[in-house]
Chains A and B, each alone.
Chain A
Amino acid sequence: MMNVMVCVKAVPSTTEVKMDPVTKTIVRDGRQSVINPFDASALEVAVRIKERLGATVGVMSMGIPDTQRILRDCLARGADFGVLLSDRPFAGADTLATSYALMRGIDKVRARWAEQGSGDLSLVVCGKMAVDGDTAQIGPELARQLGFACVTSVCEVLEATEGALRVLREVDGGHEEVRVSLPALITVTKDVCNPRMPSITGVRFGMQGPVDVWGAADVGADPGRIGLTGSPTQVVRSFTPERASGSTPIEGDAHEQARAIVDMIKEMA
């Protein structure tokens, strides 16, 4: 039987996000947060694989304690267990520190599976990106940390077996069909499938099913590689860009136009 992990993120439900003036990061009070829509599709991909091939599906997130609410909703929609990485030292993480923490969490889950004799991790499914940060970095970074092959922007799962996936991925100007051996990590677009709604049976499981909350020490994380300390990215300033109006027509042939643009960029710099 396959073991699948899905990584999800709680994102603000509206576009009116509040920024912390000191840390320059998004204020996450949890009340308004919802599951990142790409991650909802990722969960659906995993649950469909579970229904077709038989699998255990775990769902993992890093966030404030209220994020358990979203993990429980994932259980209602077909996941078997949830893990929340929630600890003050995790706070302020950039994508590198986040993917490291997720890797540590996933390693702990793998160790548990090994102890239970339940086999190893076959597949990690992530949303292509989060709608708040828009980086699309977590999936590839996590794959690197896990040492898994990575296929990004999957828009259709054409075939799934216990040993491999055949998928269609979005690329510039079209699609690319890829066959990837497992274990692997894929990131999915929203179009990959319509997320299901939970049933009453699902809601019952969501309320009672297992959700663990692990801190940095629980997953044996190196304090230097998590949170703000472990984040090479530092947000220096965040601001709302002023809308510039007006346009400058550029005349001439392609060569002359390119030169004019280069000159303008030099001038701006």
Chain B
Amino acid sequence: MVEIKPLSADYEEYLRDESRTVGSAQSISFPRTEQEVREVLSQMSDAGVPVTVQGGRTGLAAGAVPDGGHVLNLSKMTRCVGLSPARVDESGAIDPDGAFLLTVEPGVVLSQLRKDIEDKNVDVRGWDEASLAAWRALCDAREHFFPTDPTETSATIGGMAACNASGARSYGYGPMRSHVTALRVVLSDGQTLALRRGQAVARGTSLDLVTEQGGRVHVDLPTYEMPRTKNASGYFCAPDMDAVDLFIGSDSTLGVITQVELELVALPRVIWGVSCFFADESHAVEFTRSARAALRDAKAIEYFDADALDILRAQRRASTAFAALPELRDDARACVYVELQCEAEAEATEELWKLGDVLTSSGGSEDATWVARTAVDRETQRFFRHAVPESVNMLIDERRKSDPTITKLGSDMSVPDECLPAVMRMYRETLAEQGLQSAMWGHIGNNHLHVNVLPRDAGDYARGKELFNRWARSVTEMGGAVSAEHGVGKMKRDFLRTMYGERHIREMARVKAQLDPAHILGLGNLFPPDTLPLPVGSEAAGHATDDGTREA
């Protein structure tokens, strides 16, 4: 039995995550196996103690910050469990160019996973013969990789699944959800679900699940329409959807993910990064729209605005840590980074010429570009892209010395393709109207910009927060998402209500009540306190029990 420890001063760091909010809890455990997770959940469920699930605590939406009760920290569940090929031919031979499916526990850290795959150094002790055969095939095959690439590589795989994480390459590869083929989930009463894509599918909006212990759970799926854009806001729902998708992005409110089967895909042989600099933001927007249509092999399209570039210039002058950054041209007032991934240099070259044509016709210039074709140049560009948020954080840390109450306010909203110019206009006009300092960067290929308000004082901070509420309403009107990749957690649950409306929030709450009738998982995530916990016998919970749809 795993030890349930009191949350003493030694464990205070587990009350926080990267959202910089601090919660409270009475106890904490660090299970190492699924069985231990089951035992903890059974115990907490019986006692009615809320449970907050944690991985690397790198989330920005406070999903892992406890709101009382117990902290279930999965960082000790770090095993790679097994491997299988995605495709075998009629003779049973493994396709070395095809995908491989790696099953990992939720505490596996992304940076370690990447390194282990790159070095072909996964710990295969205890694997069965089929997994070992697949492993040997993977070692002999060309290089493979896991495509989801959030900026914070100390994130855990479980956390990434819980918030449907994504990153720059989501433009080409989609979010986490696109690369998860199976899950194991422990429900709040300790029962387990083994979910494989295609095997547990809803009929319309009705989903019936059978636990490994023989329990039956009926779920009435919500009826809202998902936005036509990158989205990590609330429960995924669609007619005839797969059960795997319900748990991905659920912010640990429906069950505890104890295994994730990840898709590793063949690494393209040629990867070129191209940073394009523009004298005006409108040209960058025009370029993005044209590049999306013209470039077949673009896997990432990222943006940095003039304010972000200016902050970077200042940090480069002030700090030796940034001295290795390449010099930015004085006339660069916007930058779009495009990553091309191809199978051969000839294809990449053709794409590069196309990119140059689009650039020229959008008001840019082939001279004002950086093309990274070597590992050293790619590393320089990576350093540049990551230096932007780092520089902004340093600026805010400096301001916090005089006013500790202010923090950076970062948006995470996305809109459909056709709304990109409109949303950019909205950001610019409202920021200017409020007189707020800002810096904008992010995934412009997905119309998903992180607009960061940089408050100078408490007044700026309050105006910034109000502005975010306005943006949430406008983005919703455009058919967008209030959270595109960070998840909702506790920070954005008010936006979620704006996005889906009261009725649909109630539908989401019903899903939670059906899967977690004791209302112990992820207290405060997704739902404002006045929506949950619902007392047993209320409309939503009653639906689950009165129908006899949940029986162990």
Question: What is the interface of chain A, defined by CB distance below 8 A to chain B?
Answer: 13, 34, 37, 40, 73, 76, 194, 196-204, 207
Question: What is the interface of chain B, defined by CB distance below 8 A to chain A?
Answer: 274-275, 324-327, 349, 352, 355-356, 359, 366-377, 380-381
Asked if B375 contacts A13 (CB within 8 A), the reply is yes
Q: A194-B324, A194-B327, A207-B349 are in contact. Are A200 and B356 (CB under 8 A)?
A: yes
Question: How distant is the Cα of A88 from the Cα of B163 in the complex, in angstroms?
Answer: 59
Asked if A197 contacts B371 (CB within 8 A), the reply is yes
**Can you list 26 A-B pairs, Cβ within 8 angstroms, ordered by A?**
A34-B374, A34-B375, A34-B376, A37-B376, A73-B374, A194-B324, A194-B325, A194-B327, A197-B275, A197-B326, A197-B370, A197-B381, A199-B368, A199-B369, A199-B370, A199-B371, A200-B274, A200-B352, A200-B355, A200-B356, A200-B366, A200-B367, A202-B371, A203-B349, A203-B373, A207-B349
Contacting residues, chain A, for B373 (C-beta < 8 A): 73, 198, 203
Contacting residues, chain A, for B274 (C-beta < 8 A): 200
Q: A202-B371, A203-B352, A203-B371 are in contact. Are A197 and B377 (CB under 8 A)?
A: yes
Asked if A197 contacts B327 (CB within 8 A), the reply is no
Q: Which residue of B lies closest to A199 (CB)?
A: B369
Question: How distant is the Cα of A34 from the Cα of B377 in the complex, in angstroms?
Answer: 11
Question: Which of B367, B375, B376 is the most central at the interface, judged by chain A CB atoms within 10 Å of its CB?
Answer: B376
Question: Which of B369, B371, B376, B381 is the most central at the interface, judged by chain A CB atoms within 10 Å of its CB?
Answer: B371
Contacting residues, chain A, for B355 (C-beta < 8 A): 200
Q: Which residue of A lies closest to B357 (CB)?
A: A200
Contacting residues, chain B, for A204 (C-beta < 8 A): 356, 366
Q: Which residue of B lies closest to A197 (CB)?
A: B370
Contacting residues, chain A, for B370 (C-beta < 8 A): 196-199
CB distance from A17 to the nearest CB of B (A): 16
Contacting residues, chain A, for B325 (C-beta < 8 A): 194
Contacting residues, chain B, for A196 (C-beta < 8 A): 326, 370
Contacting residues, chain A, for B381 (C-beta < 8 A): 197
Question: How distant is the Cα of A40 from the Cα of B372 in the complex, in angstroms?
Answer: 14
Contacting residues, chain A, for B324 (C-beta < 8 A): 194
Contacting residues, chain B, for A203 (C-beta < 8 A): 349, 352, 371, 373
Closest 9 CB pairs of A and B: A197-B370, A200-B366, A200-B356, A201-B366, A199-B369, A200-B369, A197-B377, A201-B367, A198-B371
Q: Which residue of B lies closest to A13 (CB)?
A: B375
Question: How distant is the Cα of A205 from the Cα of B5 in the complex, in angstroms?
Answer: 65
Question: How distant is the Cα of A233 from the Cα of B349 in the complex, in angstroms?
Answer: 43
Asked if B366 contacts A199 (CB within 8 A), the reply is yes
CB distance from A77 to the nearest CB of B (A): 10
Contacting residues, chain B, for A37 (C-beta < 8 A): 376
Question: How distant is the Cα of A73 from the Cα of B274 in the complex, in angstroms?
Answer: 15
Q: Can you add 8 more A-B contacts, CB < 8 Å, to A197-B370, A200-B359? A: A13-B375, A194-B326, A197-B372, A198-B371, A200-B352, A200-B367, A201-B366, A203-B373
Contacting residues, chain B, for A76 (C-beta < 8 A): 371
Q: Which residue of B lies closest to A191 (CB)?
A: B323
Question: How distant is the Cα of A23 from the Cα of B321 in the complex, in angstroms?
Answer: 43
Contacting residues, chain B, for A198 (C-beta < 8 A): 370-371, 373
Contacting residues, chain B, for A13 (C-beta < 8 A): 375
CB distance from A47 to the nearest CB of B (A): 13
CB distance from A122 to the nearest CB of B (A): 25
Question: How distant is the Cα of A200 from the Cα of B351 in the complex, in angstroms?
Answer: 11
Contacting residues, chain B, for A40 (C-beta < 8 A): 376
Contacting residues, chain A, for B374 (C-beta < 8 A): 34, 73
CB distance from B211 to the nearest CB of A (A): 50
Contacting residues, chain B, for A197 (C-beta < 8 A): 275, 326, 370-372, 377, 380-381
Q: Which residue of B lies closest to A40 (CB)?
A: B376
Contacting residues, chain B, for A207 (C-beta < 8 A): 349
Q: Which residue of A lies closest to B274 (CB)?
A: A200
Contacting residues, chain A, for B368 (C-beta < 8 A): 199
Question: How distant is the Cα of A207 from the Cα of B327 in the complex, in angstroms?
Answer: 25
Contacting residues, chain B, for A199 (C-beta < 8 A): 366-371
CB distance from A14 to the nearest CB of B (A): 10
CB distance from B352 to the nearest CB of A (A): 6
CB distance from A3 to the nearest CB of B (A): 24
Asked if B326 contacts A200 (CB within 8 A), the reply is no
Question: How distant is the Cα of A207 from the Cα of B346 in the complex, in angstroms?
Answer: 11
Contacting residues, chain A, for B356 (C-beta < 8 A): 200, 204
CB distance from B380 to the nearest CB of A (A): 7
Question: How distant is the Cα of A76 from the Cα of B373 in the complex, in angstroms?
Answer: 11
Asked if B349 contacts A200 (CB within 8 A), the reply is no
CB distance from B413 to the nearest CB of A (A): 32
Contacting residues, chain A, for B380 (C-beta < 8 A): 197
Question: How distant is the Cα of A204 from the Cα of B366 in the complex, in angstroms?
Answer: 10
Contacting residues, chain A, for B366 (C-beta < 8 A): 199-201, 204
Contacting residues, chain A, for B375 (C-beta < 8 A): 13, 34
Q: Which residue of A lies closest to B325 (CB)?
A: A194
Question: How distant is the Cα of A203 from the Cα of B348 in the complex, in angstroms?
Answer: 12
Contacting residues, chain A, for B377 (C-beta < 8 A): 197
Q: Which residue of A lies closest to B273 (CB)?
A: A197
CB distance from A146 to the nearest CB of B (A): 30
Question: Which of A73, A196, A200, A202 is the most central at the interface, judged by chain B CB atoms within 10 Å of its CB?
Answer: A200
CB distance from A70 to the nearest CB of B (A): 10
CB distance from A227 to the nearest CB of B (A): 29
CB distance from B290 to the nearest CB of A (A): 15
Q: Which residue of A lies closest to B380 (CB)?
A: A197
Question: How distant is the Cα of A204 from the Cα of B353 in the complex, in angstroms?
Answer: 9
Contacting residues, chain B, for A200 (C-beta < 8 A): 274, 352, 355-356, 359, 366-367, 369, 371
Question: How distant is the Cα of A204 from the Cα of B357 in the complex, in angstroms?
Answer: 13
CB distance from A180 to the nearest CB of B (A): 26
Q: Which residue of A lies closest to B356 (CB)?
A: A200
Q: Which residue of A lies closest to B384 (CB)?
A: A197
Question: How distant is the Cα of A89 from the Cα of B410 in the complex, in angstroms?
Answer: 63
Contacting residues, chain A, for B367 (C-beta < 8 A): 199-201
Question: How distant is the Cα of A194 from the Cα of B377 in the complex, in angstroms?
Answer: 11
CB distance from A152 to the nearest CB of B (A): 23
Contacting residues, chain A, for B359 (C-beta < 8 A): 200
Contacting residues, chain B, for A194 (C-beta < 8 A): 324-327
Question: How distant is the Cα of A122 from the Cα of B324 in the complex, in angstroms?
Answer: 29
Question: How distant is the Cα of A1 from the Cα of B370 in the complex, in angstroms?
Answer: 28
Question: How distant is the Cα of A198 from the Cα of B356 in the complex, in angstroms?
Answer: 13
CB distance from B335 to the nearest CB of A (A): 13
